[in-house]
Every structure is written in C-alpha cells, then in structure tokens.
Amino acid sequence: MYYSREIRSCKQGIYVLRLMSRKWYIDRINEKNTYNIIYYLYFFLDFYFPRVYTNKKYKERMKGMTKKELAKKASEELKRLYPEAICSLEAEDPFQLLVATRLSAQCTDARVNLVTPALFGKYPTIEAFAQADVHDVEELIHSCGFFRQKAKDIVGMANDVLSRFGGRVPDTIEELTTLPGVGRKTANLIVGDVYGKPAVVADTHLIRISNRLGLVETKDPLKVELALKKLLEPSESNDFCHRAVLHGRALCDARRPLCSDCPLNSFCKFCKEQ
Ligand code: SF4
C-alpha cells in the first residue's frame, strides 16, 4: 500500500501525538485517584484496541492464503518492482562467476567488482588460474578479505575443474559443492545463473526477507533454501532471490526497513506486527 507524502506526514504527526499522550498516561498511571477508569479506557483505546484491530484485519486478509500463495504474491510484487533480476557480480564466463562468488564471501559485491578486472586480466582462463602462483593471487584479491584461503580455493577450484570435470564448470549442486571453497550458496548461483536451472541462493537478504514476509521461520540457510524450493515456482526461484537482494538493499534494510513505502506491506507479517 503506497501513501502520499501528505498522508505520511499526517501519520507521523499522529504518531508523535500518541507518544506524547502515552507519556501523559504513564506519568499518571501510579496516581491513585478517582479518574483511574479514564486511564484504563485510554490504555485500551490507545494500546490494545489498535493491535487487536490490525491483527484482525491482517488475519482477514490472509484468511485462506497458503504460504505458496503468499510466495506467489511476493514473487509477483518483487517482479513488478525489479523487472531486471540481475546478479550484481560482474563475470564473463562460468568460471569467472565461480571465482567472483568465492570472493564475495564476507565482502561486498561492489568491492569484488573492483578487484576482478585486474584478476581476470592477468588470469583469463581456467588453465591460467590452475598454473597461477597462489601468492600472486593473494596480492590481487587482498582487499576482499580472507585472501589467503580464497586464493588457495580459487587455484584449487581451477585444478579440480580441469582434472575432474574436463574444464567445464559442473552443473549440479552435488558436483559443485565438491570443489574447494564452494558451498550451497555459490553452487545454487552457478546452477541458476549459468545453467538456468531452478535454484535458491540463500543469502542474508533472502533469509531476512523470507522470515519477515512469513514464508519461513528459520535463519538456517539450508532450511530456507529447501523451504523456498517447495514454495516458489521453479522458473521464478532464481530471479526471486536476485530481486530479494535488490529489495533488501532498497527498502527492506536489516535495521530500518521502510515498510510504509514498501508495496509488500499489505501482506508482510513483520509489518503487521509493528
Ligand atoms: S513491508 Fe517492511 S519488512 Fe515487509 S518486506 Fe516490506 S520493507 Fe520488508
């Protein structure tokens, strides 16, 4: 539900008035006098009634809506908001995407995109990465953090892709997760973005938004991935994850979500509970 700027200002004004009147109420709650009944009535109208009322409205709206329908609704709304569901990591081939994804662990995509042009310029092929000096790779990726382990994994991945998979980045989660430093999140990204298969990249934004919407009740990445794979349309699952990342950055911030501006607020569980 969108609100115009005037309505938002009005709502903020009402909110300030409610805070002031609540303070007035709290200041007097311990006073023993004959007007206590008025204070209790005030408490009911100001605190209890709005919650019961909004809960009732939410329940009515959600009545009969299954999690699958909720997921469909969220997916459609995110698609309308972010028509282009693109991965923010820049790469020109599957192995480069694998390397960029490995670098993005505990690092921002923007930082990775600053580092990879020089890295891919020096090592343009899997063969070049396989023969690379780990210390030289460490120097090039230093600013991404955990550079020693990441450099070791990148060179190890190149050797494994050449020796075990004939130079082709594998297309299944099971095979991908046998490569050094590749977890389910990276594997899902490759499977979805490179090979166009259904995938759920359970990153921090997706986990937060899925919980807030009420699609899942867990922070465990594997549980979120498996639950969303059941709820989302296979053809939409990969794009849903990219859109959730964009939404997490634009509106659904971890600390200060902008719920009044969010088109998902009419069916979002977190918003209802505020
Ligand atoms: S309504 Fe708020 S909590 Fe829910 S998805 Fe939107 S910004 Fe996030």
Burial class, 255, CB count within 10 angstroms (exposed 0-12 / middle 13-18 / buried 19+): exposed
Burial class, 215, CB count within 10 angstroms (exposed 0-12 / middle 13-18 / buried 19+): buried
Using alpha carbons only, give the angle 80, 84, 86 rounded to the nearest 5 degrees: 135
Residue 117 to residue 47: CA distance in whole angstroms: 56
| Closest CA relative to residue 68, chosen from 273, 270, 240 | 240
Ligand 1 atom closest to the Cα of residue 251 is 7
The DSSP annotation for 144-166 comes to GSSHHHHHHHHHHHHHHHHHHHT
- CA 1 to ligand 1 center in whole angstroms: 11
Would you say residue 114 has pLDDT above 80? Answer: yes
46 SS3 class: helix
Residue 39 to residue 45: CA distance in whole angstroms: 10
pTM of the entire predicted model? 0.75
Residues 232-270 pLDDT 10s: 999 999 999 999 999 999 999 999 999 999 999 989 999
* Choice from 209, 210, 240, 261 to test ligand 1 binding pocket (greatest atom count within 8 A of CB): 209
Class at the top of the CATH hierarchy for domain 67-81+200-273: mainly alpha
Residues 53-87 pLDDT 10s: 556 666 656 656 789 999 999 999 999 999 988 88
Would you say residue 146 has pLDDT above 50? Answer: yes
Q: What is the mean pLDDT of residues 79-107?
A: 92
Q: What is the mean pLDDT of residues 113-117?
A: 96
- CA 271 to ligand 1 center in whole angstroms: 6
pLDDT for res 1: 45
Residues 148-196 pLDDT 10s: 999 999 999 999 999 999 999 999 999 999 999 999 999 999 999 999 9
| Closest CA relative to residue 271, chosen from 23, 54, 28 | 54
- CA 4 to ligand 1 center in whole angstroms: 18
Q: Which residues contact 178 (CB under 8 A, 6 or more apart)?
A: 160, 164
Residues 195-230 pLDDT 10s: 999 999 999 999 999 999 999 999 999 999 999 999
Residue with tokens 């009322």: 53
| Closest CA relative to residue 203, chosen from 182, 217, 189 | 189
Q: What is the mean pLDDT of residues 109-127?
A: 95
Class at the top of the CATH hierarchy for domain 94-193: mainly alpha
- Domain ranges for the chain, please list them: 5-48, 67-81+200-273, 94-193
pLDDT for res 15: 72
At 17, the pLDDT band (50, 70, 90 cuts) reads: confident
Residue 144 to residue 116: CA distance in whole angstroms: 10
SS (H, E, C) 60-91: HHHCCCCHHHHHHHHHHHHHHHCCCCCCCCCC
b/e code 161-174 from CB counts within 10 Å (16+ = b)? bbeebeeebbbebe
Residues serving a catalytic function are 185, 203
Distance of CA 237 to the CA centre of its chain: 13
pLDDT for res 37: 66
pLDDT for res 238: 94
